[in-house]
Structure 1
Amino acid sequence: MKKLLRTAALVSTLAATLASAPAAWAQTAAAVKVEGAWARASVQGQKGTGAFMQLTARDGARLVRAESPAAGVTEVHEMKMEGDVMKMRAVPALDLPAGKTVELKPGGYHVMLLDLRAPLAKDSSVPITLVFQDAKGAESKLELSVPVGTSAPGGAKAHEHKH
């Protein structure tokens, strides 16, 4: 009888833990939580813009690519200073260490949407699919509907230069 009660208590605790887990953890096998996602609005004739967010991988993962029907090319990019020159380049993958939040932000890592099929209007949204790879090499996808704005949600400054 004691064993049955312990088993019931364990099952109850496990069920409560799963019920309280963030929904984003369950959305992908790579168990990556996405927070604060947004994409910068563009104007007529502008062919590229960026998308930004915070990514937290429960068990560690790699962001190996991004996809969006709104752009002809979607890449994971890095911006960094090399001497006195700001350089931007595509990266083959972005490591997401277990339990650590990696911020994709203006002036740093970000998702670049190039060859836009139409301008991204403020207060609309853009579909973006993130493709992750776990430690065993298995890929999983997380589909997002990312709000479009002129700055980060919550009124935070999107980009601040410090000289």
Structure 2
Amino acid sequence: MSQHPHYILLPASPLFIAFSLLIAFLLNLLPWGQWVGIPDFVALTLVFWSIHQPRKVGIGIAFFMGLLMDVHDASLLGENALAYTLLSYFAIMIHRRVLWFPMGVQALHVFALMLLAQLVGLVVRLMVGGPFPGWLIFAESLVAAILWPFVTWLLLAPQRRATDKDDTRPI
């Protein structure tokens, strides 16, 4: 038996998905993005929606969000787009399997996905002659994995509510 109850979720609203991606983008625009350990919120939100709603958020949206981040970061055009596209692709590939695992194991999968995205961006930067930023940049993936349970709780919250309040219904 599972320890956690399985909720019957309402369909995810496309407006809420767009709103969450916008908020993640705005969080990435804040100046704290240069601090050690602050995760890429757009990448984390893309992983969440690619795992939970792969038909609504896919590689095209990941590519578009990557281009937005490339313009914001003034980085090589396509660096974040490539990383986000691969991130979304691999998240969609494993989305059915990941959802069966408990939250801690899901966080390990997210850690691997975020690490892959960081490695892709790092390799692209190094190929064009950029400096190696140091090993502490990989702390972002660790923090993203630690934040995974909170992000899951937050982004699934609107889907858990009942469409109409009924005190006699157990669901």
Q: Same fold (TM over 0.5)?
A: no
Q: What is the TM-score of this pair, normalised by structure 2?
A: 0.29
Larger proportion of helix: 2
Q: What is the TM-score of this pair, normalised by structure 1?
A: 0.29
Give the structure with higher Rg (CA). 1
Larger proportion of strand: 1
